Amino acid sequence: MSSPVSVEIKGSIAWVTIENPPVNATSTAVRADLLQAVETVKGCDLAVLQCAGKTFVAGGDMSEFDAPPQPPHLPVVVDAIEASRVPFLAVLHGSVLGGGFEIAMACAYRVAKPGTQFGMPEVNMGLIPGAGGTQRVPRILGWQTSIEMACLGQLKRAEDLLEMGAIDAISDDPAANVQDYIGRPFTPVSKRDAPSIEDLDAFSEQVRRLAKGRAAPLHNLTALQWTAAPYELSQPKERALHLELRQSEESRALRHIFFAERTVSRPAILRDAPAGTIREVAIVGGGLMGCGIAAACLNTGHQVRIIERDTEAAQTATETVQSLMLGALERGKVSEAQFRDRLKAFQTSDGYKDATKADLAIEAVFEDLETKQAVFAELSRVMRPDALLATNTSYLNPNDIFADTPHPDRCLGLHFFSPAHIMKLVEVIRTEAASDATLATGFAFAKGLRKTPVLAGVCDGFIGNRILAAYRRAAEYLLADGALPHQVDNAMRAFGMAMGPFEAQDQAGLQIADANRRRQDATRDPHERYIPVSDRLCAEGRFGRRSGAGWYRYKPDDKTPQRDPWVETLIAGYSAEAGIVRSALTPENIQMQLMTAMANEGARIVEEGIADSDATVDVVKTAGYGFPRWRGGPMHWAETVGAKILRQTLDTMEQASPGSWRRAARYSNPNSQSKVTE
């Protein structure tokens, strides 16, 4: 195996090149070779440190983080570069992240290509830097930027760092004119004075507010404050805390979801399947979902046409997509030229004939089986036989939708999440007849949209919405037994959810869940406990925030939920009607029951083959449903809690709601083999 670091000496300049694809991570081999390179370059006037490929060092090798650290340790390597009698010039491009930024700060000089990005993303893995990052960055960038990078995980551009004096130059060819740095005076970053911190209380409050329950941002803030001491005393403290945090539940959860996303996006059954290319997309339905999908496609270079029922609806869709594109322009996400190009790639139509040239058609119309079947009948008539057909249905059975569609091997589900131009998750639904090539093309298309695709089988709600239904049902049982909506929501926010189940329903609109309940009325198990409070809200026209009231009340132009005595009286009244003696529930009770409901349903989904692994379930919930990444997903959470406790919680839930919960096999028999540890 070739060395990942090479040294070539030309005259008085040594060229040190790291080549460790794909991101030049600081693996054990890279660290060892870099340390040797510091010795090899002795006798030269300058050592130029560069990386092959698309990026400079973009972080450490996280696959090593679960094992004991192997020498040479990165702090030793970084400090050796800084202490070298031969000054190092870092030639930077792509992403300079984590250990890469620590290495760059240890160099005497830094030159970057335009647009190079810098960051300390360790906080996003539940960590602090471990090779002097928090101890050097205040000395080179000041406190505000240090907090933004170390505590909040923000990236900075080369142009930002140049303005702050942290890099020496920006050049389209940063490796040119390196001889100009020979003999240039410099002060090692670790020897510079750290600026005094002002407004620490304000910074602490900002970090605490944005941390949303995570510990790592606050650990980074603490470590930054250690720069008040000399580097030789503060850096070992940083290293010790970094190693301690590697074993924390937060870091393990974040690393789990990091690797899960990469595994899930490459399903084993599709790795050898050929993926086609999607250039032109037809979207049937110009509502918020259809327009969001259109915007996501336009943002990634596709030709897009929305097909609507008439000219007026097509014009409305045009205005909606233009508004989404304009919003991106106003936020600085796209340039004027990109804005114009994307609008040129977009058209609307009131006829299916304009879908003739599309490589893919996505149906995004109302959740009605006959309506969707009619859409695909028309698309099949005008599109070529090898063009893909996809439904965006949330709950209906795609096999029924495509029952009469010719060439069913090209049919699949692509379940986007609203708002589709922002949300990352796409469930790629495997229909009975879908070919592997069709599914592989669906995955490639979703990845091209910069989304996170997961493979799902067919069931009511697929993966995400099926778990959501169990979660909401458990939440409504808690209401009947003694909790109030704000208590449930507050408990789940404290757990780390983006919002609680009742405020989430108010935001999405209660009519969505109401329509789904009506669809299930005929097949619902009569032994299952059913709480009709939501039905009564809908009967009163309380459909959520847009109607001014749902589980909460809302003031005009104010999205803040307000407790509603009418709703709380309705809940208490239902409990009395049902003969239920209400009892207080602690936040911990609420969290444990709702999380157990999610984990149990997720385990059943895996057992049924709807999801191919626990990791798939975790990715769905973190990417599409606001589940906190730092908890790792419901299945990872269940593993940390242990099967014994989940069985006991299910016992409690079944006592309160007999006949209402079907246990996953792993939670049924205490002696069964289980992925969930005791």
Could you give the domains of the chain? 5-247 (3.90.226.10), 278-456 (3.40.50.720), 464-667 (1.10.1040.50)
pLDDT recorded at residue 417: 93
pLDDT recorded at residue 1: 57
Whole-structure pTM over 0.75, yes or no?
Answer: yes
**pLDDT at residue 174 is higher than 60:** yes
pLDDT recorded at residue 648: 96
Confidence bin at 672 (pLDDT 50/70/90): very low
pLDDT tens for 340-390 read 999 999 999 999 999 999 999 999 999 999 999 999 999 999 999 999 999
pLDDT recorded at residue 583: 95
Across all residues in the chain, what is the average pLDDT? 94
**pLDDT at residue 676 is higher than 80:** no
DSSP letter string over 356-390? TT-SEEEE---S-HHHHHHHHHHHHHHS-TTSEEE
pLDDT recorded at residue 673: 44
Q: Report the distance separating Cα 568 and Cα 551, nearest Å.
A: 9
Q: Report the distance separating Cα 363 and Cα 214, nearest Å.
A: 39
Q: Report the distance separating Cα 250 and Cα 252, nearest Å.
A: 6
Mean pLDDT of 544-551: 95
Of 80, 9, 83, give the one whose Cα is nearest residue 46. Answer: 9
What is the strand order of the sheet 5-10 is part of?
5-10, 13-18, 46-51, 88-92, 109-112, 169-170
Share of the chain above pLDDT 90, in %: 89
Phi and psi for 265 in degrees, rounded to 5?
Answer: -75, -5
Mean pLDDT of 598-622: 97
Confidence bin at 332 (pLDDT 50/70/90): confident
- 297 token code pair: 């496609």
Share of the chain above pLDDT 70, in %: 98
pLDDT recorded at residue 669: 64
pLDDT recorded at residue 375: 97
pLDDT recorded at residue 677: 36
Of 64, 44, 48, give the one whose Cα is nearest residue 6. Answer: 48
Secondary structure of 5-65 in the HEC alphabet? EEEEEECCEEEEEECCCCCCCCCHHHHHHHHHHHHHCCCCCEEEEEECCCCCCCCCCHHHC
Q: Report the distance separating Cα 559 and Cα 546, nearest Å.
A: 9
Phi and psi for 226 in degrees, rounded to 5?
Answer: -70, -10
pLDDT recorded at residue 236: 97
Could you report how far apart the first and last alpha carbons of the chain are, in Å? Answer: 42
- Cα distances from 403 to residues 369, 433, 636, in angstroms, run 11, 10, 37
Mean pLDDT of 408-437: 96
pLDDT recorded at residue 674: 41
Q: Report the distance separating Cα 513 and Cα 518, nearest Å.
A: 9
pLDDT tens for 75-121 read 999 999 999 999 999 999 999 999 999 999 999 999 999 999 999 99
**CA 588 to mean position of chain CA atoms:** 26
Mean pLDDT of 576-592: 96
- 294 token code pair: 């259109």
**pLDDT at residue 675 is higher than 50:** no
pLDDT recorded at residue 522: 85
Contact 17, 51 (CB under 8 A): yes
**pLDDT at residue 449 is higher than 50:** yes
Confidence bin at 670 (pLDDT 50/70/90): low
pLDDT tens for 248-302 read 999 999 999 999 999 998 898 898 999 999 999 999 999 999 999 999 999 999 9
Of 110-124, 469-483, 514-528, give the lowest mean pLDDT range.
514-528
